[in-house]
Amino acid sequence: MNFVIITEYPIWLLLFCVLFGASIAVLLYYKNNRYNFTPILKRILLVLRFFTITIIAFLLLSPLVKSVLRHVEKPVIIIAQDNSESIYINKDSAFYRSAYREKLNKFIKNLNSEYEVKVYSFGDKVVEKSTFDYSDKVTDISTFFDEMQTRYANRNIGAMILATDGIYNKGKNPLYASDYASFPIYTLALGDTNVYRDLIITKINFNKTAFIGNKFPVEIVVTANKCKSENSKLTVSKGNEEIFTKNINFTSSSNIQTVFLEIEAKQSGMQRYHVSLTPIQGEVTILNNVQDFFIEVLDQRQKVLILANSPNPDVAAIKESLEKSDNYDVDVSLADDFTKPISGYNLVILHQLPSTTNSAAKILESIKTAGIPVIFILGAQSNLIAFNSLKTGLNIISSSKSSMNEALPLINNDFPLFTVSEELRKFTDDLPPLFAPFGTYKTSNSTNILFYQKIGVVATKQPLIIFNQQDNIKSCIITGNGIWKWKLMDYLQHQSHDIFNGLINKFAQYLAVTEDKSFFRISGNNNFYENEEVEFNAEVYNESYELINEPDINITIYNKENNKYPFVFSKTSNAYHLIAGIFPVGEYHYEARVKVGNKIYTKNGIFSVIALNIESINTTADHKTLYNIAHKHNGKLYYPAQFDELLKDIKNREDIKSVSFTQKRLNEMVNLFWVFILIMFLLSIEWFLRKWSGNY
């Protein structure tokens, strides 16, 4: 390190500091005869005072100390060890639990003498540690690369050693995730590339929810490796009851079979089903012969009523879209034929009602009285004067009763009520027009517009689809009819109705959802994987429906054996949060309590913890991917028996070396501690010599 002293003032001002110091010293000691100092002592004291005053005077010039520091940084060697279960689910599991660890630790020790070694484990998370237990339930190599890019940006990284079997089941392909790396990557190929005799439940496809009394479909994909001419029995059970069995015969060495079945939902709540394959002799592992899945069985659906002034293809298109979802029961009727009570429905869709031939006054009054959300679809048959009197948040003033515009949809990118998929945004430009009444459209401030009308090539601010909420009752207005053509266009372009069905279901979901008016609310997932922490949020309201968080919320979680796990929610700025930690696989229920004043509120709920067997589904190592990563980044692929060769390769590389850099600093001299010490030292020596001589 070297340093220089600089100042913004001219250097010749230093002469005045010296003259000032000399003047004070001379006046105090040379011309002053009051003290009886010896000539030698007088000269020493004069010099001490001279330097003290000169230094202090110089500090008034605000001098800066410019220092240049030189640093030498060793190259960083990053060692990344796969900590997932797939490493030891093979015939070499004993090797990876003992001998491999010893070899790796010895390798790290040999590197430490010349390099800065950083050791990480990765699986479902990235952790800096040098011990591994192969317990992670998933393998996400791309997250590790992202983490290293963040942590070691602009660092002198010599090389990375990636020790893994190449199997990844989360995140993107590690070959592309490593694109950022400008340093060599060596891959240490673990695991076994041989295909062993094994039965695997590869995948279970199912709907997460079902309704009581209905049958829900389940699709089970079974893979068999080297099991030609063998038989196994597939069993689906619930508790102690077997609800489905099937004998499977494998006709080839590599065989994939898909089994379809339907299960009746007999009980409401979270239901757990167990799928198993009877093992065959010689399987490499039986961990992947079993898998559980959970279905939430609901005890009621949302009931939707579609009333039309006259038959119209819009009605059929909307009905079919809603019935694609298990969440809705749909009734359809002409308004003149409808005689049922309307209060039992969660959503009513009125197609061109009120009309010029049917005011639907009783129906509209019943809807208003029951507070039921409603969707209005306008068209040539609509009575706009009667519609305007409903105070829906939209008024249409038209001079012609039958004049219609062809209105194309123009999406509002700032629509706030629910998310609009990117597919729908792109599809909007291709949608055919709806037939909307010609006139002047006026909207209230409480409305939210999803689509504007585009007339020809002119983009207008007139709404095509609009939402409103008044007196806590939600409504939607589709200002034109012909929406059935959107469904046909969806199929024409995408060979499915998914985008159209999703849009209609978004409407129904937003409008028909029942708002929670309780003073105590708990929210959270119903399903957690076994490597996820169980987490809940809670809100407490006073009688004015203001959020409060003064009282404590206590929650007790019970497992199937009724063992208790008590917790207390943490308080946030105005609500509550709880991270209860990781729970074993199984079904749980909870009871939460909070006392607000003299009232006690309780909430009960259920959740399940699902086994994550994804690591056991594929146990065949992918060394080809590891070779490609190493080749792409100027490295090589090695095996666990080649630690010495890997060490030699790294040490022989000329591009892995220390780097030196200089760092410049500017510090105000008055803030330097050693300057303070110097001044105090000079004054202290002067004071001591004066005391020692007997002069004060």
pLDDT tens per residue across span 202-251:
888 888 777 777 788 899 999 888 888 889 999 999 988 999 999 999 88
The pLDDT score that the predictor gives to residue 539 is 93
| Distance of alpha carbon 444 from alpha carbon 466, whole angstroms | 11
> Strands 185-189 and 157-164, how do they pair?
parallel
Confidence (pTM): 0.57
Query: 445 by DSSP, 3-state: which?
Result: coil
The answer to whether 70 touches 1, Cβ cutoff 8 Å, is: yes
The pLDDT score that the predictor gives to residue 355 is 92
The pLDDT score that the predictor gives to residue 687 is 85
pLDDT tens digits, residue range 392-404?
Answer: 999 998 877 678 8
CATH match of 302-512 with 3.40.50.880: yes
Q: Which CATH class is domain 75-194+620-652?
A: alpha beta
Q: Rg of the chain over CA atoms, in angstroms?
A: 39
- Tokens describing residue 182: 């400008």
| Distance of alpha carbon 136 from alpha carbon 122, whole angstroms | 8
Taking Cα atoms as reference points, which of 119, 95, 96, 97 lies closest to residue 107? 119
Scanning the structure block, which residue is given the tokens 């850099």?
Answer: 661
CATH 3.40.50.410 domain range(s) in the chain: 75-194+620-652
CATH 2.60.40.10 domain range(s) in the chain: 198-298
Q: How buried is 521 (Cβ within 10 angstroms: 0-12 exposed, 13-18 middle, 19+ buried)?
A: middle
Ranges in the chain, pLDDT < 70: 1-3, 31-35, 401, 514-516, 615, 694-696
Query: 499 by DSSP, 3-state: which?
Result: helix
The pLDDT score that the predictor gives to residue 31 is 65
The pLDDT score that the predictor gives to residue 386 is 92
Q: How many residues in total does the chain contain?
A: 696
Enumerate residues 6+ apart whose C-beta is below 8 A from 310: 334, 352, 381
Enumerate residues 6+ apart whose C-beta is below 8 A from 471: none
The pLDDT score that the predictor gives to residue 39 is 79
Enumerate residues 6+ apart whose C-beta is below 8 A from 524: 534, 535, 536, 537, 605, 607
The pLDDT score that the predictor gives to residue 515 is 65
The pLDDT score that the predictor gives to residue 410 is 94
| Distance of alpha carbon 406 from alpha carbon 118, whole angstroms | 66
What's the CATH number for 520-610? 2.60.40.2550
| Distance of alpha carbon 452 from alpha carbon 601, whole angstroms | 45
CATH 2.60.40.2550 domain range(s) in the chain: 520-610
Classified by CATH at the fold level, domain 198-298 comes out as Immunoglobulin-like (2.60.40)
Query: 182 by DSSP, 3-state: which?
Result: coil
| Distance of alpha carbon 530 from alpha carbon 582, whole angstroms | 7
Q: Give the residues across from 4 on adjacent strands.
A: 66
The pLDDT score that the predictor gives to residue 34 is 66
The pLDDT score that the predictor gives to residue 527 is 82
| Distances 531 to 48, 125, 534 between C-alpha atoms, Å | 72, 10, 9
Q: How buried is 489 (Cβ within 10 angstroms: 0-12 exposed, 13-18 middle, 19+ buried)?
A: middle
